[in-house]
Amino acid sequence: MIKLGVNIDHIATLRQARNGIEPDLLEGAALVEKAGADGITVHLREDRRHIQEKDIFLLKKNIKTRLNLEMAVSEEIVKIALRLKPRNVCIVPEKRQELTTEGGIDVCSGEKRIREVVRRLKNRKIMVSLFIDPELRQVRAAGEAGADCVELHTGAYANVKAGKGRKKELERLRKAGKLTVELGMVLNAGHGLDYRNVIPVAGLPRMNELNIGHSIISRAVMTGLGNAVREMKKLIRKANK
């Protein structure tokens, strides 16, 4: 069965907005797991804009499923990952100014460093995935770099309007996915997937796992907001009695 990893960075974004303790990341992770998610995904960014170092160690200790750490290949972060030893690592590109991970990592031009990081992580028995655009040359380079797994960037598919363009992007994903499996790597995908566009990607042959964050957290806000207001109203009314 195809698995779902839920990216909970946005819970930490909200918490960091007030430098506070609310919303609690571990409580969020527990709710996600209780609802059936197969894994918890977080991105420890170099600028620490949402997830903090202490979060990943607490998550590793407390979650019941498995931790998938998204990370750049900077030496500081690599050392943290080696200490943390999560079940999965997904290597992503990282730019300071970007809102989110905007494209896949260019394995072709960064192969030497990527290969070295993959080897060090695998030596710690961490399953390593490379987050790449659905290009055959990138899939081949991921295989040559020793990756266990490829996570195909679905951003281009998600950003194009439904119709001809979307079909073309889906076909690119299908071809890249096919080669990934032929080269003996596990096939994952993610980025920009939502409640309207997920089904065709989930239906790609041999898809193992989808990692989804933004749309799930956004849906949670909209489905939870009514209750949150009702709870507050109830408390306020008590003062008027």
Angle at 6 between CA 44 and CA 9, to 5 degrees: 35
Those residues with Cβ within 8 angstroms of residue 62's Cβ, 6 or more apart along the chain or in another chain: 26, 29, 30
Catalytically annotated residue among 43, 94, 135, 169: 43
Interaction pattern, residues 168-197, with ligand PXP; x per rule: CB under 6 A: ----------------------xxxx----
> Under the criterion CB under 6 A, does residue 8 sit at the interface with ligand PXP?
no
Q: How many Å apart are CA 92 and CA 154, to the nearest integer? A: 13
- 116 half-sphere exposure, CB direction, 13 A CA radius: 8
Number of residues that bind ligand PXP (CB under 6 A): 19
Query: What's the closest the beta carbon of residue 155 comes to ligand PXP, in angstroms?
Result: 7
Sign of CA dihedral 17, 19, 22, 27: positive
Catalytically annotated residue among 70, 94, 135, 151: 70
153 is catalytic: no
For residue 5, give both structure tokens.
């990893």
> Under the criterion CB under 6 A, does residue 88 sit at the interface with ligand PXP?
no
CB contact at 8 A, 129 and 151: yes
Residues numbered 102-131 forming contacts with ligand PXP, rule: CB under 6 A: 131
Q: Which is nearer to ligand PXP, 52 or 100 (CB)?
A: 100
- From the CB of residue 140, how many other CB atoms can be counted at a distance below 10 Å? 15
> Under the criterion CB under 6 A, does residue 211 sit at the interface with ligand PXP?
yes
Task: Give the one residue of 92, 114, 126, 198 binding ligand PXP; rule: CB under 6 A.
Answer: 92
> Under the criterion CB under 6 A, does residue 7 sit at the interface with ligand PXP?
yes
> Under the criterion CB under 6 A, does residue 43 sit at the interface with ligand PXP?
yes
Burial of 112 (0-12, 13-18, 19+ CB in 10 A): exposed
Provide the annotated active-site residues.
Answer: 43, 70, 191
Binding site for ligand PXP (CB under 6 A): 7, 9, 43, 70, 90, 92, 100-101, 131, 151, 190-193, 211-215
